[in-house]
Structure formats: C-alpha cells, structure tokens
Amino acid sequence: MDADAGKRIITALGILESMSGFLVFLDRDGTIIDEADLLCDPKKLRLIHGAAEGIKLLNSKGVRVAIVTNQPVVARGLCSEDDVKAINSHLLRMLKKESAKIDAVYYCPHHPEKNHPEANDPKYRRECGCRKPKTGMLEEASRRFGIPSDKCFMIGDSTRDVQTARNFNCVSILVKTGYGGNDTKFDAKPDHVCKDLLEAAKLVVSLI
C-alpha cells in the first residue's frame, strides 16, 4: 500500500498502543448498518439488529474491532472524504450509545473503473492497495495493533469480504444480512456462515 493511501484510509478514534490478542475486521454496509446504495447522508444510517450487541460482546472479551470499508462514492464524486468521515463518526456515536466500541475505522476512497459518469479525478480513479479484496487496510490495522493475520477474523456480507480474508490469510465469516453473499463477484467460499453480526461475534468468541 502506498504511503499516501496509508494516510488517507485510516480514521482512528481512541486507539491504544498495540496489544496481544485477536482482531476482528468488520465490513460496514450490510454488516453493521443496513445496506444503502451509495450512502452519503449520515441521517440514513440504520444499525442492523444485534450489530451493536455483537460488537459489545467482542469488546467484553478484549478483542480489537476495526471497520474496513470500500467507499467508491468518493471516487465517483458523489460525496467527499469529509462526508465519509462524518458518516463514520456518526456511526461510532450510535454504537457508543449502545456501549459498543470500534477501535479503528479504515476506508478506501478509490475506484479504478472509469465507466461511471459522475467523476474521473485521477486522485481517486486509480488502482490502489487498500480497496478490498486487496489487503492494505487489514495490513495497516494488523501492524497498528501488533496482531498477526492468524489471529484475525473478517466478518462481512459479500464475496469480496470473503476474498479479502482469503488474501490476508485470516478466518472469513459471511453474514446473511446485506448482500448475504449473493453478490457473486468472487468465487470465494467462507470458512463460516452466520445469520448476522451478533451470531458471528458469538462464533468468534467460541473460537478464540
């Protein structure tokens, strides 16, 4: 992952220095919040039932939790990076009200395809090392917390998330919320399938 992207993709709140233990990566849209196509408005955020409880369970076991999310809305010119950060901050506040803590949030604003009509800013319309299924965001979090991939889990609702876990050599858990793995973008089979984030969190706790 290039240095510029590394500076761009992380928005961390209240991160402590690296500790031993386990790290769970969470996709955002369709996993923590309802899938909303091209989300640009914080007011449209809706927590999926049980998501906060699942994160809270991971917190209680000392598991680090990091959101890793592709946000091509930036590359498409539909909203700015500041807008994405505002949405992420609003999400963290919503979770905090439910006593659920996210240790870090990473987002990728890039999109290499140029067939969309909205914008073609070369700053964002390019290949990068952070857009899932590439592993730049996961690598950054792994380094930050000092937790290797064999102690990591990736929870998401798409085959892209499953492929990301495979590329990073960590355990993949597909949840049936959001796309529920029906996107067919990648021929990647998950290690586990769960109903939702809460059920996935319970599985993680049983495995560590």
Residue numbers annotated as active site: 27, 29
Query: Do residues 63 and 24 touch, judged by C-beta distance below 8 A?
Result: yes
The structure tokens 């996709």 sit at 27
CA distance 186 to 202: 26
Q: What 8-state DSSP symbol labels residue 151? A: G
Count of beta carbons in the 10 Å neighbourhood of residue 152: 22
CA distance 75 to 123: 8
The burial class, CB within 10 Å (0-12 / 13-18 / 19+), for 105 is buried
**Rounded to the nearest 5°, which phi and psi values hold at 142?**
-60, -45
Half-sphere exposure of 76 (CA within 13 A, CB side): 14
- 3-class DSSP assignment, residue 55: helix
CA distance 1 to 144: 14
